[in-house]
Structure 1
């Protein structure tokens, strides 16, 4: 009996080796030589090119499914080739490929051994290992740490779970990793994908500026998921809704073991369509109960955390000194992409303002330099007014940037409301930079508390991170 069992296991292993060999050979024969033709360069920097060595540091990219993590790896491979790395020293596998299932603790080691059989010189030269959606493999962190400790490699991994990756990184890598977050296209990348990215000189050309403004309106509806850029509206909406459903099924329900998948889908849609709005756990609980089912407030909080872990929806809290007061101080949700939000709201809804605020939040998230809770927060003021975004360090009551997102400030009432909130915030944070991001208005407002810049949204999104 043991002999028979071992024979079956060996047969499975051989079949897996054959599949891995096929995928590795296909990548080098068909994919690697052609990726430059399809690539839209992303602005997310992965730092300097590492030299393969025993004891190297892993680079970890996290983000929602379909946000472009695979192509960001391809971009890095092109950079390696441009810097003289031999193609035979590059190994790429996507562990979300169903042909590699079922996984076990040896799946990654097995893949590397097959790669070394195909390219034995890479063992001594040093190999660049690129593994997509690695969290699908059980105990991946333990295996990856062993590889870093024993093989001459540079390791890049991606995953759609920040929590799972960060926990594994903290436990297994012990400081030997750097994490990066990749969101769908920014507005600049959106323009780049359409061959519309302007130079500094182009922004003085009226025709170019008109084209950029037109594209910005499109960006707020289409969003930045790479694969939907050339789709017509009905096809794009269906695809984006499918992305959300896939994320809920694979990265939320399956990964976290939630028992009621239908409720998880409904709550996810409610969260996405609440983008840029104040959210109350009590209201979500009451809404569920009125519909016949709610898992309770604690479970709703757990599920919202799971949505954020899967990069489907992000949570922004009131700027607060104490992390324990964060939820009590208020919360807003932001969809992972303005197009995802637009594809989820009812057709009759006018979502321009919320789409703009969602896009501003995501751009601030791209530009941030630290990942601490509270570094992009909302600010509820003593008067009851609110500033949409404050960047800074809540633990020392320090803010560097105050940002309002407003569709238009042409109305005197709206203009006064936005300025009054920023003036009150500047009293509390006098050294902060204050900005109103409006769709198509530009002005500088001097107040006793400090200057406030009103910047056209299309221009603000194209500014360098340090200038916004």
Structure 2
């Protein structure tokens, strides 16, 4: 496992700070893995019970019900109703759609259009849940949605933003080194496709010199 200590330390430093942690990055850069594997393992190592870590994956069809913002908020609050401290991970928060305030639609949940003003969105859910004293909230989302100007404005001074990048050359290099693979660069006059992983590691080591 590549530990990604730089980002893990950011999460550790932001733990229990009273703000939602919003993790953004390009597709497939490891946002979900950082949260659900690396950070979860850290919490368990700090004696946080497994039952106090709630993980909800909104890109899973069985959780599609919770893409409704009010359903999502109600579900998380129900899971945390005993007032013990909980660490809540919501993956792919941008899957939550916006609805018109049900008070204006006879209680019905109606999808909002871009020009509707009285709407409830995932931003309202994130900020609302973060105000619950026993919830430390973490969400992941794609750059295309989470970094829009409107969303950035909504979260300004109200959230801890962690911007995740794909694996760096240094992280690749350390991973090979930790596996005991020799990473000293050498010229290869032969077949460059032979032992591709090893040659990649050596090339990265040479670049980092």
TM over 0.5: yes
Matches within 5 A, 1:312-391: none
Choose which of 183, 205, 208 in structure 2 pairs with 1:458: 205
Matched, 1:71 2:25: no
Q: Which has the higher contact order (CA 8 A, sep 6+)?
A: 2
Q: Which residue of 2 aligns with 1:96?
A: 59
Matched, 1:160 2:160: no
SS, match of residue 128 in structure 1: strand
The CA distance in 2 between the partners of 1:134 and 1:165, in whole Å, is: 13
Quote the offset at 1:88 in angstroms: 1.7
Choose which of 171, 174, 177 in structure 2 pairs with 1:189: 171
The CA distance in 1 between the partners of 2:145 and 2:32, in whole Å, is: 20
Choose which of 95, 98, 107 in structure 2 pairs with 1:136: 95
Contact 1:60 1:180 in 2 (8 A): yes
Matched, 1:86 2:61: no
The CA distance in 2 between the partners of 1:89 and 1:182, in whole Å, is: 25
Matched, 1:105 2:87: no
The CA distance in 1 between the partners of 2:44 and 2:178, in whole Å, is: 28
C-alpha spacing 1:459/1:176, structure 2 compared with 1 (3 Å): farther
Matched, 1:59 2:21: yes
Task: Provide Cα deviations, 1:266-292, integer angstroms capped at 9, x if missing partner.
Answer: xxxxxxxxxxxxxxxxxxxxxxxxxxx
Matches within 5 A, 1:203-242: 207-210=182-185, 215=197, 217-218=199-200
SS, match of residue 150 in structure 1: coil
Q: Which residue of 1 aligns with 2:108?
A: none
Task: Give 1 or 2 for the bigger CA radius of gyration.
Answer: 1
Matched, 1:176 2:138: no
Choose which of 38, 48, 67 in structure 1 pairs with 2:12: 48
Quote the offset at 1:49 in angstroms: 4.3
The CA distance in 2 between the partners of 1:188 and 1:87, in whole Å, is: 32
Matched, 1:115 2:98: no
The CA distance in 1 between the partners of 2:205 and 2:15, in whole Å, is: 39
SS, match of residue 79 in structure 1: helix
Contact 2:24 2:162 in 1 (8 A): yes
Quote the offset at 1:52 in angstroms: 3.8
Contact 1:52 1:126 in 2 (8 A): no
C-alpha spacing 1:101/1:48, structure 2 compared with 1 (3 Å): closer
SS, match of residue 183 in structure 1: coil
Quote the offset at 1:110 in angstroms: 2.9
Contact 1:92 1:130 in 2 (8 A): yes
SS, match of residue 160 in structure 2: strand
Quote the offset at 1:107 in angstroms: 2.9
Instruction: Give the unaligned 5+ runs of structure 1.
Output: 1-38, 220-438, 440-456, 464-468
The CA distance in 1 between the partners of 2:89 and 2:164, in whole Å, is: 16
Q: TM-score, normalised by structure 1?
A: 0.33
Matches within 5 A, 1:364-443: none
Contact 1:49 1:80 in 2 (8 A): no
Instruction: Give the unaligned 5+ runs of structure 2.
Output: 98-120, 189-195
Quote the offset at 1:106 in angstroms: 1.2
Choose which of 65, 73, 86 in structure 2 pairs with 1:127: 86
Q: TM-score, normalised by structure 2?
A: 0.67
Contact 1:169 1:177 in 2 (8 A): no
The CA distance in 1 between the partners of 2:184 and 2:15, in whole Å, is: 43
The CA distance in 2 between the partners of 1:150 and 1:96, in whole Å, is: 25
Quote the offset at 1:112 in angstroms: 0.5
Contact 1:91 1:127 in 2 (8 A): yes
Equivalences, count:
173
Quote the offset at 1:93 in angstroms: 0.8
Quote the offset at 1:169 in angstroms: 4.3
C-alpha spacing 1:65/1:111, structure 2 compared with 1 (3 Å): farther
C-alpha spacing 1:127/1:52, structure 2 compared with 1 (3 Å): farther
Quote the offset at 1:116 in angstroms: 2.7
